[in-house]
Structure 1
Amino acid sequence: MSPSPDLVVGDDGLGRPLWASKDPLLRAYYDTEWGMPIRDEQGLFERLCLEGFQSGLSWATILRKRPAFRAAFAGFDPDLVAAFDDSDVERLMADAGIVRNRAKILAAIGNARATVALRGTVGEGGGLAELVWSFRPAQPLAPRTHADIPTSSPESVALSKELKRRGFRFVGPTTMFALMEAVGIVDTHLVGSHRRGTSGVWS
């Protein structure tokens, strides 16, 4: 199968999608991180929070602010964030290094509490990670163009519904599909990308 026409071949001879072809930060993120499996609770909680904060903004904005987010949210340790109180909310609203959106900040704290509550529940011994990964689709995707990549899927709709039932917020189907892409549950690397198939999930 020929490479995707939407790939950009870099000066290193490697094919990448347009969004990862120019900005050095996005290029490094694409080359080393995006789409690689994340199966631990803290890692998934961080990504879930950041995807929520990204809603309505560019991922590049969130990625540049990620060090500040990690500092502000105690390394995204769910136990520590779950204990945040009103003073922490005001501290976060005054932190210019992050996205100062009260609804999203409150959602992140609430999602930490929901993450803690998931632990040890029947059928979800692994908590958040096991729950999220249980929505992995049966078949891989093989997009050749950007138009072939959906913005949601039946699995992301179902994951969104289940997380909302568990008390999570800012977890709509489109946001959850982006999460599934980012943590390796679905592979939307374009055909011909040097990253396609590198997650090991679909090999």
Structure 2
Amino acid sequence: MRWWFKARRGHLLLPLAMALFAGGLYAVQDTSVLLPSLTGAPRVALSLFVPVPLLACLMAVLESRLPAAEVSGVRSVTRLDNLMVSAVAALALLCGVLVAAMNSTASAVTCGRNAVFLTGLMLLGRAWAGQTAVMIPVGWLVTVVVVGFRGNIPHLWTVVALPADNPFAAAASLILFAVGLAAQIRSSRKTA
């Protein structure tokens, strides 16, 4: 397992990703910015974009592999990958809760939930698009900003723009994450 983690460069990239995520959460806190939109002029929480470096590092870790060797190996690398992704998502959620507790801000918890949602979206896209699926969550965020608001109120389908205590957003995040993990089982068996 140690060799698998080192081959994935997890020992270098994942601590960097978590430090960027925690630092970004702490830096932006409840800052919101006015962004251009087709459906109004929403004030968007800057923390919406904090998970992007975490997702980029996670994709880099998942894609540093030798597909032929992993498919022919005895150990299930897919299970290890899913455990690693689950641990990163859980740490992101825990980091959001800790920053929220330290600063009394709900946007940090929302950011942790959004990291789980966007990770699931990225994994689902990875099954079909490969490494370029890292851009799918970025595209989702841009779509949310451009057409996801009615005035300053987010639509339900946006998920990432909904408040921290929204049960639909929590359920959608968990479901999409589970679907993404299932899609990763299928995609990691491919050799090309």
**Fold shared, TM-score > 0.5 on shorter chain:** no
The alignment's TM-score, normalised by the length of structure 2, stands at 0.28
- Greater per-residue helix proportion: 2
Relative contact order (alpha carbons < 8 A, sep ≥ 6): 1 or 2 greater?
Answer: 1
